[in-house]
Amino acid sequence: SQQGEEDPQALSIQEGENATMNCSYKTSINNLQWYRQNSGRGLVHLILIRSNEREKHSGRLRVTLDTSKKSSSLLITASRAADTASYFCATDAGSGGSNYKLTFGKGTLLTVNP
C-alpha cells in the first residue's frame, strides 16, 4: 500500500491566498519530499525535509514535519495562478544500500483562480 496520503484531494483558492496541503504516512522515514506536477508533465522536486527537521522554507514554500504524528504539511503563500498543479508528497523509508526508493501519495490538485 502507498506510504503517503495527501489531504485534501482537491483545493480551489483565489490568487493571493495561502494554500495548505497535508500528507500522512505510515512508517518511519528518513526524509519526506514534496513534488509538483503540471498537467501532462513529469514531477518536479520542490523541497525535502529530513526526519530530524521540523520546518523548512524555500521561497514561498513552507514545509513542516511532525514525526510523532507521521504527518507533514506544505504551505504555499501568496498563491499565483501559475501555482495551479498537482502536489505530491513522497517518503524515503529505505534502510540504505540498494533499498532506496520513494513512495508517493495520490496527490492534491490545487487550482488557483485569477
Partner 1 sequence: DAGITQSPRHKVTETGTPVTLRCHQTENHRYMYWYRQDPGHGLRLIHYSYGVKDTDKGEVSDGYSVSRSKTEDFLLTLESATSSQTSVYFCAINRRGQGRTEAFFGQGTRLTVV
Select 45 or 80, whichever has its Cβ closest to partner 1. 45
The contact set with partner 1 (CB under 8 A) reads 1-2, 30-31, 33, 35, 40-45, 48, 88, 90, 92, 94, 97-98, 100-107
Q: Which residues of 52-80 are buried (b: 16+ CB within 10 A; e: fewer)?
A: eeeeeeeeeebbbbeeeebbbbbebeebe
To partner 1, the closest distance from the beta carbon of 52 in angstroms equals 13
Listed in sequence order, the residues at least 6 apart from 69 whose beta carbon sits closer than 8 Å to its beta carbon are 24
Q: How far is the CB of 47 from partner 1 (least distance, A)?
A: 9
Which is nearer to partner 1, 60 or 94 (by Cβ)? 94
- Closest CB to partner 1 among 5 and 83? 5
Helix, strand and coil content of the chain, in percent to the nearest 5, comes to 5, 55, 40
Q: How far is the CB of 48 from partner 1 (least distance, A)?
A: 6
In 3D, which of 50, 40, 54, 29 has the Cα closest to residue 105?
29
- Nearest to partner 1 of 15, 92 (CB atom): 92
